[in-house]
Amino acid sequence: MAISSRAFKDAIYDQLARIGKAVASPRRLELLDLLCQAPRTVEELARRSGQSTANASHHLQVLRAARLVETEKQGPFVRYSLADERVCEFYLSLRTLAGSRLAEVERVTREYLESRGTMEAIDRSTLLERVHTGRVTVIDVRPVEEYEAGHIPGALCVPLEELEARLVEIPSSGEVVAYCRGPYCVLAVKAVLMLRKNGFTAVRLEDGVPDWHRRGLEVTTGREP
């Protein structure tokens, strides 16, 4: 028996809704954001997102059921990664849409940044020009595994938790630009505050590596020489 047009449309939209249901959770969106940076184990994802391993595992299973993430067994651990690059593209598009349509996103962001005196941010074109002329030092304050999975060429790997102990490695002349996972990541904000407290001229870059890659700009993997 041939399927009716109505049944066909209902079936298709039902499948599309599976994606909507899978991402209808702040925690699951944060996990996708983290996985846009680099693959990780359940334990690492739980720690980075501030939730229990059990809760993180549950959310990851929902994402996996919607075919948004994949798993790989590594000894006693299960390592999660995005199913493909289109999942990260979907997340970035959702983030951009929310930022443009929901005033609350802008308000909450502004309140957070204004309370810390770090509203100003350098844009990517200005950063590129200053990097090419050697007028700025760029530091990636994400965890090492994220840096190695992809970073802005020439950026120094200085995870936030190591920054204070490694300030002597950062040139004190010129400007320092810190970046992390994107416009709503707080690691770069904390890094800028610490750098300014120690006498550096510092600003943050709103773009994360996925944003950089999305715009066709070069991304490097591994360690810098």
Q: Which residues are catalytic?
A: 180
Written as one letter, the residue type at 14 is: D
| Alpha helices in the chain, H assignment, sequence order | 5-22, 26-37, 42-49, 53-65, 85-101, 103-114, 124-132, 144-149, 160-163, 187-197, 209-214
Which of 214, 222, 221, 217 shows the shortest CA–CA distance to 85?
214
Q: Answer positive or negative: Cα dihedral of 105, 108, 112, 118.
A: positive
Written as one letter, the residue type at 147 is: Y
Written as one letter, the residue type at 8 is: F
